[in-house]
Amino acid sequence: MRKKILLSFAVFVAGLCSIVYELLVSTTATYFLGDGVRQFSIIIGIYLFSMGIGAFLSKFLTKMPLRFFVHIEFLLGLIGGISVPLLYFLFVNVNSITLQILCLVIIFIIGLLTGMEVPLLTFASNEVDFKNNLSNVLSLDYIGGLLATLLFPFILLPFVGLFYSSLIFGIFNIVLGLVLNHFFLKKSKKTLFLGLLSMTVLFAIVFSGGRLLKIWDDAIYKNPIVLNTQTPYQKIVVTKKQEDIRLYLNRVIQFSSADEYRYHEPLVHVPLTLHKNPKSVLILGGGENLASREVLKYPSVEKIDVVDIDSTMFHLAKNNSFFKEINQGAALNKRVNLITEDAFTFLYNYPNSYDVIIADLPDPVNEAIARLYSRQFFLLAKAKLKEDGLFVTQSGEIYFSNSVFSCINNTLKDVFEYKLPYHNYIPSFGDWGFVLASRNPIDITVKKRNLPQNLQFLTDEQYQMAFLFPKDIEIAQTQKNTLDSPVILNYFLEDWNKWKTDLQSGTK
């Protein structure tokens, strides 16, 4: 009976750990290489293919299935455990093509070893008269896989992190092998030594994890880190060098306090000055409340709704001393209403309409963000505008990422009757684009109200110059970005790969 219970538990753990490794590698690859659909598709495909090869090879190990299973647990625990730390190391030391290849090699090995587990346990279960062994083995393996898919998004990613999750489950795999060795292979000192050696390697990485992560973070972020946290939605890092505060989301810079006003002033004040009487403003994204800081400079605005999917951003905006100083307490202002919600879902469900909608969203580095630049998203935004309302969105770097800039322009043109692009140079990011859209003609020569007096950059002259583009910048022919076909993600990756620009410092 004890043997049956232990083998059942081994099947369950094997299914749990293998799916966790696949999720960890896929997510890490998405963070570093972008295009989550492509990464998950390729990695899952390679994983399943290698599992098939492993299952085939297992038939040559039927003489001592349990011993081979234990050895595989040691090897799988070691490779699965170091998979994420290894990818972290490779990210800062090899180019993207090499990283992609090595990532697939890692998942191939993990899949190969995983494919051997279930057949070997099925063979081993026959030795203890395991009734209906195949169906029992598969059912327990699938249950373990289900638990893994629940643990990963709700516990492992937000509270443990990718780095330590891989190490913990690697140790878990090795412990399973050691337990089976103790009860079923008592005389195998060599097997015991291999297991303890593998566990020692993983524990050594765990104990030195803080130092390793610091070295890695220093290589990525350059400046000293003052805040580093993982939420269910993203990794938030804040750095500080002298007076320069920088915010990174999933290792992509979002603002530098040294020049963020060069971004937020054109984003906000162009639409606000062109509207005859803005009273209600919706800001999509912008959880750090820098855009709302600028909107608050208009006494006529009675309500500002700021929608961000991550409540941690709102917590920082209200409580973090660095954020509060930069946003000038905007998140605590009575006119500002902070709403934790996905921007797309909010536009679909919220009944109210607005005078001005400002899309202060990240670049389309993955599918979840790419949909926020889709035709359907812009249609929802248009539906929430009052008849004389104005919509504005950031649209990326206009030179190095001209395809993205053009795609946003072309998609908006398909939704709004009138649209008008403008731009401004931001030292931390480059020549940045914006697009203004409306149901009505847009006349930039006739501002409905003057610019606020306490701006750091924008003047009437700069205002007019923003709508003038250099001769070598034009709106290229692109496909429209839709939910069904998120082409903007491909444009983004192709543009930045073409210029070999580091996404950590080259995008907003």
Q: What sign for the dihedral angle of Cα 226, 247, 213, 111?
A: positive
Q: What sign for the dihedral angle of Cα 490, 364, 87, 154?
A: negative
Q: Is 360 a catalytic residue?
A: yes
- C-alpha distances out from residue 326 to 116, 292, 306, 329, 393, Å: 55, 12, 17, 8, 22
264 labelled as ligand-binding? yes
- C-alpha distances out from residue 120 to 61, 136, 321, 417, 441, Å: 8, 14, 57, 65, 71
- Of 433, 344, 412, nearest to 380 by C-alpha is 344
Q: CA 274 to CA 392: how far, in whole Å?
A: 12
Q: What is the DSSP letter of 351?
A: -
Long-range contacts of 40-49 (CB under 8 A, 24+ apart): 42/104, 43/103, 43/104, 43/107, 46/104, 46/107, 46/108, 46/111, 47/22, 47/107, 47/108, 47/110, 47/111, 47/114, 48/111, 49/108, 49/111
CA angle, 226 then 327 then 391, to 5°: 120
315 labelled as ligand-binding? no
- C-alpha distances out from residue 432 to 12, 145, 333, 361, 435, Å: 51, 45, 29, 13, 11
456 labelled as ligand-binding? no
Q: Which amino acid is at 30?
A: T
Q: Which residues, 6 or more positions from 258, have their beta carbon under 8 angstroms from its beta carbon? A: 243, 244, 427, 428
Q: CA 493 to CA 367: how far, in whole Å?
A: 12
71 labelled as ligand-binding? no
Q: Which residues, 6 or more positions from 413, have their beta carbon under 8 angstroms from its beta carbon? A: 419
Catalytic residue of the set 360, 363, 431, 495: 360
**Residues within the annotated binding site?**
234, 264, 288, 308, 342-343
- Binding residue ranges for spermidine: 264, 288
Which residues are annotated as part of the binding site for S-methyl-5'-thioadenosine? Answer: 234, 308, 342-343
Q: Which residues are catalytic?
A: 360
